[in-house]
Structure 1
Amino acid sequence: MDVSRLRGIAPDADSLLGRYLGDRRFALALPRAVGLQILHPSVAAAIVAHSPSSLWHHKKRVVSHLVYLAYTPRDPHPAVRYGHELVHGVDSRGRRYHGLNPELFFFQHATYVDTLVTAIETFARPLRATEKDELYADCCRWYLRYGISARVMPETWDGFTEYLDRVCATELAATPDSARLAPALLRPDAWWPRTLPDAAVRTLLHPRTRELLEVRLRPGDRAASAAHAATVRAVMGGLTPRARLLPAARR
C-alpha cells in the first residue's frame, strides 16, 4: 500500500470505521483495550511514568486525540511523532521502551481495533465475517496514516486475530505497574466508561486480562451486561448519527 497517499485520507463516513470509531459506544468499550495495555509491561510502565493524571482522564485525552487524528484530513504523522518521541524509559522487566517503537505502537493500535469490533458487536449489532475483513482493511489504512512502520501489521483479519492471541499469550504479564493500575481499570472514574456497571466492565475485559489480573466473572454478570447493552442499543438507536459521535469526531 502507498503510505504517502494514505496519510491524507480520513475514514469514509459511510464505512464501518467512519461510523463507529468516533461513536460513544467505542469509548464505552475501552476497558477492553486498556486492560490489555496495562498488562504489557512497557505500556504499563509508560502510563505510570508519563501520565500525571488518573488512568481514565489520561485515556480520555489520548483516545479523543486518537479519534481526532483518525478523522482529520491532515497528515497525522507530525502530531503522532511529537506526542510519542519523549515517551521512553525502562519497564519492570528492565527492558527499554520507546513510544515510537513499531511493535509497541502497533500493539496499542491492535487493542483499539479489537475493542472497536467488540463495541460494535456488543452495543450495536453482530458483524458478518466479510464485514470484519472490510473493517480490518480500513483499520490498516488508519494505522498507515500514522507513518509508523507497519512491519508487524498482519494483512488480514484472520492474521490479526492470530497476532493478538500470540501477543496476549507471550508478551503480557502481571507486573507491579499493572497491579497499580488495575483498581482504576475495574472501577472507571471518568468519561464514558464511568457509566458502566461493574458487571459490564468485567464482562468486556479480554479473557487474557481476566486471567492475568485474576478477575472472575460473578454469577449474573453476563445477564446484567446483556441488559445494560440492550439499554445502550435502545438509547443510541434513538439518536441521530451526529449525536452519537464523540466531540473529537464531530470536529
Structure 2
Amino acid sequence: MTVSPPPAAGELLRRHLGDRRFLLTLPRAVGLQVLHPAIAPALVEHSPTRLWEHKKRAVLQMIYLACASHDTAAAIRFAHEHIKGRDDRGHRYHALHPATFLFQHATYVDALMTAAALFGPALTEQARAELYHQCCHWYRGYGISDRELPATWPEFTAYFTEACATQLRMTPAATELTAQVLRPDAWIVRHLPTGAVRAMQHQRAAELYGLTPRSGDAAALRAVALGARAGFTTAPRRLRVVAQAR
C-alpha cells in the first residue's frame, strides 16, 4: 500500500490530461466502465444525476487531483468510501477495491493515449513510455494499493487487453446506461456526432454493445479530429486547457 504522496504531475501528463480535447475521448473510457460489473451498478445506484453530469464532476475533479502537489488520498477515500453494494450476480462490490479502481483508472489512461493518437502530435514510443510512467505516479497519488499496477507501457497494454476480454459483460445496469454512453446528453461530449462516439469505442466495447460498423462512423471521427486540431492551433490557452489543470 502506498503511504506517501507522489510528486506533482509530470509536465507530459499535465499537458495531455489538461488538454480539453482529452475530454472528447471520454465516451471510449466510459463505454468500457459501464461494461464492468462492479462499476455499472455503482453508477446507477450511487450517482444522483445522469451519467454525463456525474462524469463532468468526477473527471474534472480527477484532473485537478492529478495535477495537485498535495496528498490527494484522503479526498479519494472520502468520495468513494460509501460506494458499495452487490452486483447483478450477488457479488459484493466497492469502488475502492484495488482491481476495480485500477480498471477504471486504466480506461482513462487508454483514453489519454487515444486522444494523443487522434489529435496529435503523435507520441513516439519513448514519449508514450514516459507518459505512462507519469500515469503510474498519478495512480499512486490515490493511495490505493499499487500491487497490480503494470510497471511499464507494454505491461499495461497486456493487462488492459486481458482485462477487457475477461472482466467485462453486459449487465442490467449496463443496459440501462447504454443509450447515455452512445448518445451523450450533457457536457462537452454532447456535441460529438453519434458516429464519432461509435467509432471511438474500444473493440471489446463495440462487441458487447452490438455495434456493427457503419460507413459514416469513421468519417465522423476523422472530421471531429480535424476540426479539433484546427481549432486548437488558434484558440487561447483558457480554451485549450481545462481550468483544473491550470
**Normalising by structure 2, what TM-score?**
0.96
- State whether residues 14 and 245 of structure 2, in contact with CA within 8 Å, keep that contact through their aligned partners in structure 1: no
Q: Name the counterpart of 1:132.
A: 128
Partner amino acid, structure 1, of 2:171:
T
Is residue 185 from structure 1 mapped to residue 181 from structure 2 by the alignment?
A: yes
| CA deviation after TM superposition for structure 1 residue 8, in Å | 4.8
Which 5+ residue runs of structure 2 have no aligned equivalent? none
Contact 1:41 1:93 (8 Å CA) reproduced? no
CA contact (8 A) 2:2 2:144 kept: no
Superposition pairs of residues 225-240 of structure 1, within 5 angstroms: 225-240=221-236
Q: Secondary structure at the match of 1:89?
A: strand
Alpha-carbon displacement from aligned partner over 1:170-200 (angstroms, at most 9, x marks no partner):
1100111101000001111111111111111
1:99 to 92, 95, 99: 95
Q: CA deviation at 1:129?
A: 1.3
Aligned position for 1:246: 242
* Matches of 1:128 and 1:91, distance apart in 2: 41
Q: Is the 1:24–1:192 Cα contact (8 Å) retained in structure 2?
A: no
Q: TM-score, normalised by structure 1?
A: 0.94
Query: How many angstroms does 1:169 deviate by?
Result: 0.7
The alpha-carbon deviation at position 224 of structure 1 amounts to 2.3
Task: Specify the alignment match of 2:47 in structure 1.
Answer: 51
Task: Tell me the secondary structure at the aligned position of residue 152 of structure 1.
Answer: coil
Q: Is the 8 A contact 2:87 2:93 kept in 1?
A: yes
1:77 matched to 2:73? The reply is yes
Residue 10 of structure 1 aligns with which residue? 8
**DSSP-derived class of the 2:31 partner:** helix
Provide the aligned length of Structure 1 versus Structure 2.
246
Aligned 1:73-222 pairs, distance under 5 A: 73-222=69-218
Cα distance in 2 for residues equivalent to 1:74 and 1:117 = 25
Q: Amino acid of the residue matched to residue 140 of structure 1?
A: C
- The CA deviation at 1:10 is 1.6
Cα drift, residue 26 of structure 1: 1.0
What is the alpha-carbon distance in structure 2 between the residues aligned to residue 50 and residue 80 of structure 1? 16
Moved more, 126-135 or 159-168: 126-135
2:208 partner amino acid: L
Residue matched to 2:15: 19
Task: Give the conservation status (yes or no) of the 8 Å contact 1:25–1:123.
Answer: yes
CA distance, structure 2, for counterparts of residue 163 and residue 22 of structure 1: 25
Q: Secondary structure of 1:97's match?
A: strand
Identical positions, percent: 49
Instruction: Output the CA distance in 1 between the equivalents of 2:24 and 2:144.
Output: 27
Cα deviations across residues 196-234 of structure 1 (Å, max 9, x unaligned)? Answer: 111110111111110001012211211221122101100
Deviation at 1:241, TM superposition (A): 3.9
Structure 2 distance, partners of 1:161, 1:206, is 13
The 2-side partners of 1:189 and 1:182 are apart by: 12
| Distance in 2 separating the partners of 1:162 and 1:8 | 25
